[in-house]
Amino acid sequence: MTTFQKGTKFRAPGLLIIPLWVWTSLATYASSHPDPEALVREVVQHEVQMDNADHSHWRYKQHHIEPGKNSVHECVDTKQGTICRRVAEDGHQLTPAEKKVEERRIRNLLQNPAEQRKEQKARSEDGDKALQMLKMLPDAFRYQYDGEDAGQVRLKFEPNPDFNAPNREARVFHCMSGFIWIDPQQKRLTQLKGRLTREVKFGGGFFGHLDPGGTFQVKREDVGSGHWDTTLLDVNIHGKILFFKSINAQQHEITENFQRVPDDLTLAQGASLLEKPGNEAKLNAAVQ
């Protein structure tokens, strides 16, 4: 993209200095890339379709860090929901006493259907919110090409002033500017990095606000068998809410070590798998 600085004069003969191959490359680049907003819309539609069609279940490790909390869990997807077992806390493996507490928690969960529904409802709501944010992308922002990284298309985005955010979460998301990365071959969103460019006020500021400069980052990748999942979530947002109570939305979460498990696992079988790692090979063989 050519930028003309204030005070300079456009002189047509200067164009002759630029080699013909540069103009040819620029023309080829422009013709081979669709409108960036159309590309984002196509990718989001594809993401939603693939998410609806993917019913595979996985085992994985999740390292979660936030103020006052640093824990590692091993999790297993089952047909009754996801079950997780805490395996480390504050940088150390669980002590025998802590393991007994965790075992008792899981046992109580398996014996309490109401608690199971409560936990799975919370996970489902988180997933629904993430999907809503994804569906917002084509309309909430305006895009322009910003180059390529290792075969991935990088787009710069800014809030679309014509978009009306439907809820508080959407308002915060809509106040971000940043970059997204897209795999143009698989039509998948691989990374999003955003920053709050202005203060976000709730109730005109009476109920609170979020400070500008807060950041948000997500990374996604194919973790196996064509299954795409979030491998990094990083949030760092600050502000005040309701009578000057501080907001410190700091969260860093890494998800890794994905392994496919049978899609018909029950919650009890998932818990057994987490307790007895030796069963892993047998269960993995069942999904081949």
Six-digit token string for 232: 């990094």
For residue 284, pLDDT over 80 is answered with no
pLDDT for res 278: 44
235-270: pLDDT as tens digits: 998 876 654 444 457 889 999 999 999 999 999 999
Q: How far apart are CA 123 and CA 117, in angstroms?
A: 10
H-type helices in 175-266, by residue range? none
Quick check: 286 pLDDT over 90?
Answer: no
Q: Which of 109-113, 118-122, 170-174, 187-191 has the highest mean pLDDT?
A: 187-191
Higher local confidence (pLDDT), 218 or 208: 218
Could you tell me the residue ranges of all domains in the chain? 39-286
Mean pLDDT score, 100-108: 94
Evaluate if residue 217 carries a pLDDT over 80. yes
Which has the minimum average pLDDT: 24-28, 29-33, 104-108, 274-278?
24-28
**Mean pLDDT for the stretch of residues 95-114:** 93
Nearest Cα to 141, choosing from 189, 103, 90? 189
How far apart (Å, rounded) are the C-alpha atoms in residues 217 and 215?
Answer: 7
Q: Alpha-carbon distance 163 to 173, whole Å? A: 12
Confidence of residue 6 (pLDDT cuts 50, 70, 90): very low
Indicate the pLDDT class of residue 125, thresholds 50, 70 and 90.
confident
